[in-house]
Structure 1
Amino acid sequence: MAFNNSTVNSGGENYSDEHCERLFDEITFSGASFILIFILSIIGNCLLLYVLFLYEKLKNVTNLFVLNLAFSDLMIAVALPFWAFYWLQDDWVFGNFACKLVTAADIGGLYSNVILLTAMTVDRFITVVLHNMPRNQEKRWKFAGFSCAAAWIISISVSVYAATNVSVKTLWFGRSWCVRKYNNDKAFYLAVSVLFFVLLAIIVFCYSAILKTVLQASNRRKHRTVVVVLCIVAAFIICWVPQNVVDIILYFFGPKGCYAWQHLIIALSICQVLAYSHCCMNPFLYLLSEKWRRHLLELFSCKKVRRIRDKERTTTTCINQKVAFISQSSAVVFEPTCS
């Protein structure tokens, strides 16, 4: 969830930029970054979904995970214009309901992302590392469907609980903030953090085994497939782990004085931009796959449209030829064969 720069509430102490000098302009930095990420994410993920439905049509399990990850990224992206305006204006003007809804989209997108990536990694682990085991395609699809359903159920449950713990707080100088109750139910935030790092440990373990297996194999095509998924997982780790670490520091320790507050604000600003940038990375990471590059090039070069027009033109020509030959002879009819 985007964090308002004006105050840090921890242990009953408030430190605000009204009392502490800013070390850099985190307001402009975060607001402009959120807008840019929003634009790239909407374009990239919508294009990804279009290509997925146009060319792939969920032909394999990986595409099912890709579909759900795209929707998860879009959930995070739709919240960014609200956070951008919030940062730039230092005032929440959208009301209490929007505060809860945007928070729910944020948290739901994050945890559906990590659960889906864990399931995708386990699927790749079974396919690559345990390839000698008897495999049933129907069971694999059931696992993928169950994993996606579980990801959304768990993430929505967590997001609803988180949304109940945020509200709009109006301060004496007229500004409103959409803030979390940092000291409310620390056990919940601890459980959520533990869930994140447990799933992260599973991802790291599975991919360590996958890399070991791939390095011993000679199938280049399998290498490329694994590299794409590995890059997706690596991007998630790089983007989201720093944010979760800073959140833990904020929840359980908090700043002690202006010096700590200043550096916490800098860390939060950078980590949040890094975290949110993840929702626009996946479409670009898929370009590492030769198949996705081919689909994208075909889409933009309109080859599919040209093929359809050529086929229609060929069919029309064949029909005209057929009619011409029939009219020339009523005894012997020669009908050209058209493919």
Structure 2
Amino acid sequence: MHAPGTFTIQATDGPSRLGELHTAHGVVRTPAFMPVGTLGTVKSLCPQDLKDASAQIILGNTYHLYLRPGDDLVARRGGLHAFMGWDRPILTDSGGFQVFSLSGLRKLTPDGVEFRSHLDGSKHFFTPEKVLDIQRNLGSDIMMVLDECVPYGADHAYTEKSLVLTHDWALRSRENHAPGRNGQLVFGIVQGGFFKDLREQSAEAICSMGFDGHAIGGLSVGESTAEMYELMAHTAPLLPADKPRYLMGVGKPMDILEGIGNGIDMFDCVLPTRNARNGTLYTSRGQVNIKRAEFKEDDSPLDPECTCYTCRTFSKAYLRHLYVAKELLSYRLNTIHNVHFFLELARGAREAIAAGQFAAYKARFQAVYPSAPQE
């Protein structure tokens, strides 16, 4: 039995890695996609749906759970695992991205960030220490440190000044949580905007602090796909090879495969669940907009190559009917499928790396998801 935080590489295929991360609630085989369960639920799904789709780990959000229902209440219920009936690993974001996206409702200081709740306008103050205390109450397996996510377009001077704050907060976070305490892991976050020298500076500082893993933050914030891929490729090799690498909030199918091709191990994004509710579905043949009239009398499954409950059981005609009628079952069936697709994307990547066939695997998806880097 390996201690939480143990990370081993089983195989490589170029920069791509096949690994295992041990946590207090089980092993996460990487590359891994983490469905987003912001408020202690992956929207419209129950834990059994996630297990049926072979989800290994899900993500919760510190900011949202702190405001509602409150981390103290969750702690009294035995932690987030017990509260939501999920016995596999959980990663919790620090809430930093949510706080900084509040713009006019927050005020930044060297000590932390003051903000007003988007729910009722009440005032709150997050420090690096408090953010970890909240996550300890939640009982997450992987905790993220508080950082400043600079907006896209921020200039070099602002971004450099922001790094001083992010690095100071990371150091305070490290001092607040000893390695292995309560079996909870802590990941540091590399920032630096879209400046390669600052990404290098940030990676050097964060990776010297002894975190259990490292994340690349500040991407997918409005930049072109070409810019994102360039920064991803530049930053990933700066992170230690013997610890997990996590690309935060980036989640189109080709973005994930591009990340895996650059040696990144963990991914999360709201795209599969949000787009499911908007009727945009991912298939082995490309994206499908299920509301289109062409599916009105289409009795074929959404994706004949998919083994999820939705594709095994229902036709495109029925899925279109549910969506057009605004039936709640539409959200559930669409989300079951999209989450399954993204988890299968990661599982297939693991198999391809093990077989030394990752480039061919990526090329197959590029043919049906011909996204950037052209744009």
TM-score normalised by length of structure 1: 0.25
Say which structure is richer in strand: 2
The higher-RCO structure (CA 8 Å, 6+ apart) is 1
TM-score, normalised via structure 2 length? 0.23
